[in-house]
Amino acid sequence: MSLKEKKEAKRVNVYFASARVLKWKEEESLPGKLDRLLKKMNLPGRFKTDEWVAVKTHFGSVGAHRIIRPVFLAKVVSALKRACAKPFVTDTVRINGLDYLEIANQNGINHLSVGAPVILADGLYGRDSILVKAGDILGEIAVASLIHDAPAMVVCSHVKGHINSGYAGAIKNLAMGGVSASHRGCGWKCGRGAMHSIGEGKLFWDEEKCTLCYQCEEVCPLECISFDRQGKEKFQYADERCWRCGRCTRVCPGQAIVHEQADPEQFMQGLAEAAQAVMSTFEPGKVIFINFLTDIQPECDCMPGADVPVIQDKGILVSDDLVAVEQATIDMLLGSAPLPESAASDGGLKQGDDILLELHKKDYRTQIAHAQKLGLGSPDYELIRI
């Protein structure tokens, strides 16, 4: 075998279906193509009869409608059922649990639409979790109990931008979405807030910069922030309940709220560590990754709104290698033309620019490189178009 053949033999298969529809047939639609992609993953040989399989997605938020559409989740569920597995669709709590289930239903994700139970992975209060060893940055992290205990998982990730990670795909979905907001024993310090914060993760308010727009109060998922409107409009927040999600700092127009946050490199290394902790609860080959390169908006699905996409829909990528599917996604986004009348065009970006990097000024490649270092996969892949 030649050196070239040896290198090619080591490459990981990543399967791709384009969003373009060139024939007016159901099987040539993007949902139809997803069926063909899933067949490439040999689900009957991968999952046991009656084996529970978590279908991990993001339920969205009030006003955040650019999530993975229910029709695609239903296709994944149907494929798993044909393989005789028992799927359930899940996410971790991003706001109070009952409210989050209502959000999922408003966004079209329910038992009737996807064909499987829709369940919160870390309970109604976001504290149902199990501590798992992580790396040097996190130490340990609270993996959502349903994801921890499930024998298999299909990770359905909506590719988009992100204020902290620059790029959000499968790694971010595992790290932030597979981890609880807090843990009964150590609060947010073992939850996803540990990736966002350093030290005590305190919030500091600068009265002189505050315009009293109250956006921080409105965006807080736990109603931790309040203003004494009867007095001198003093800022107050409930430190013991705060999840350190950072949404208040994100929406503040005057930068009046400062959060003790991890620096970008530390944050992204923490993402990779949390993803590795989640993956450590599964046996090899029991997790597959589906990246949806559709509705590629500039911000996370957690925010109460969704801006127009900055990059045209590309399609769907599927693999059982986390690093490979992320690398293939990034390679596909690079060189894309920015869509008109979007945040990308507003910023003067042009074809050939790294759009997500330029929008957020965060080197997202750090998370992928650190994931590779932690043994989560290989960036050497073979793209197979179906």
Sorted by where each starts, the structural domains of the chain and their CATH numbers stand as 3-194+263-385 (3.40.50), 199-259 (3.30.70.20)
pLDDT above 90 (res 223): no
Mean pLDDT over 363-386 rounds to 96
Name residues whose C-beta falls within 8 Å of residue 12's C-beta, 6 or more positions apart in sequence.
319, 321, 324, 377, 378, 380, 381, 382
Q: Read off the pLDDT band of 231 (50, 70, 90).
A: low
Mean pLDDT over 78-82 rounds to 98
pLDDT above 70 (res 365): yes
User: What distance in Å separates the CA atoms of residue 328 and residue 381, rounded to the nearest whole number?
Assistant: 7
Tell me what percent of the residues of the chain surpass a pLDDT of 70: 94
Highest mean pLDDT among 16-25, 192-201, 253-262, 298-307: 16-25
pLDDT above 60 (res 177): yes
The more confidently predicted of residues 5 and 275 is 275
Listed in sequence order, the DSSP H helices in the chain are 3-10, 30-40, 43-46, 70-82, 97-106, 111-114, 145-149, 170-177, 193-196, 215-219, 247-251, 264-279, 322-333, 343-346, 355-360, 365-373
Q: Read off the pLDDT band of 113 (50, 70, 90).
A: very high
pLDDT at 6: 45
User: What distance in Å separates the CA atoms of residue 239 and residue 225, rounded to the nearest whole number?
Assistant: 9
- If DSSP codes are grouped into helix, strand and coil, which group holds residue 142? strand
Phi-psi region of 84 (alpha: psi -120 to 50; beta: other; left: phi over 0): left
Question: 10 Å Cβ neighbour count for 199?
Answer: 8
Q: Read off the pLDDT band of 325 (50, 70, 90).
A: very high
Mean pLDDT over 110-116 rounds to 98
Q: Read off the pLDDT band of 3 (50, 70, 90).
A: very low
pTM of the model: 0.89
pLDDT at 107: 96
The more confidently predicted of residues 201 and 101 is 101
Task: Tell me the per-residue pLDDT of 14-55, one tens digit each, with 9 for 90 and over.
Answer: 999 999 999 999 999 999 999 999 999 999 999 999 999 999
Please provide the average confidence, as pLDDT, over all residues in the chain: 91
Q: What are phi and psi of 372, to 5 degrees?
A: -65, -45
pLDDT above 50 (res 279): yes
pLDDT above 70 (res 8): no
